Amino acid sequence: MCDKHLHDEMGDDHMSANLETPLRADAFELSAEEKVEKIEADFRNIMETLGLDLTDDSLKGTPKRVAKMFVKEIFGGLLPERKPGMSTFENKYNYNQMLVEKDIVVYSTCEHHFLPIVGRAHVGYISKGKVIGLSKMNRIVEYYAKRPQVQERLTMQIVKAMQDALGTDDVACIIDAKHLCVNSRGIKDIESSTVTAEFGGAFKESEQLRKEFISYIGMKTPFNV
């Protein structure tokens, strides 16, 4: 994907390239409907290769169902038009403490195994003149979660989007999530979860601010899965 396109997609002109979800230059040449049709055929092929009987009543709708779910639901955040509007307002009341949106539910998909990542994100910022609609923080988490992901990139993409919307570097995000590729297969460690953190601006500089942020979120265990 060319730099221009990457920047358009992220709405950002100083993003370092390695923050981007790896997409090909022709990623948006097919329409969503065309992608559903193609994936339906691909998934039918996978099921047939596994020896499944696609005439079975319960299985026959699965290829279409999976295709729709991939394109429109669990990977819907690959579509740039799904990026939420990040409404901001003037900080007229001069609220100058930290604001934390905590326990934002995260459902994402591990890009190595295409298995679920389930957990919570906590997002905080300190206003430099703009405040953001609360729900927009939940929405931006959802948008980037709805892609094939690694948790590190997801955490950083959320912080970058918030920094761009708010015009400040003073943004933090912590995600605590379970990866079913670790919990349900492979090493099968049902207890472990993964914590990632990205601290920008004042959060990076001040241990006191990081501690305050962490004290507000009072880390909980991610969902039992």
In terms of CB distance, is 67 or 121 closer to ligand GTP? 121
2 assigned to a ligand binding site: no
Report d(CA 131, CA 88) in Å as an integer.
5
Taking the complex as a whole, the smallest distance from the CB of residue 84 to ligand GTP amounts, in Å, to 23
Contact flag: residue 184 with Zn ion (CB under 5 A): no
Report d(CA 101, CA 123) in Å as an integer.
5
Contact letters for ligand GTP, residues 95-134 (x by CB under 6 A): ---------------x-x----------------------
Question: Residue 212, Cβ neighbours under 10 Å: how many?
Answer: 16
Report d(CA 86, CA 161) in Å as an integer.
9
In terms of CB distance, is 163 or 193 closer to Zn ion? 193
Q: 179 catalytic, yes or no? A: yes
Contact flag: residue 182 with ligand GTP (CB under 6 A): yes
Report d(CA 65, CA 59) in Å as an integer.
10
Residues 110-149 that bind Zn ion (CB under 5 A): 110, 112-113
Task: Kindly state the tokens that stand for 137.
Answer: 């923080």
Which residues lie below 8 Å from residue 93, measured CB to CB, with a gap of 6+?
Answer: none
Q: Which residues bind Zn ion (CB under 5 A)?
A: 110, 112-113, 181
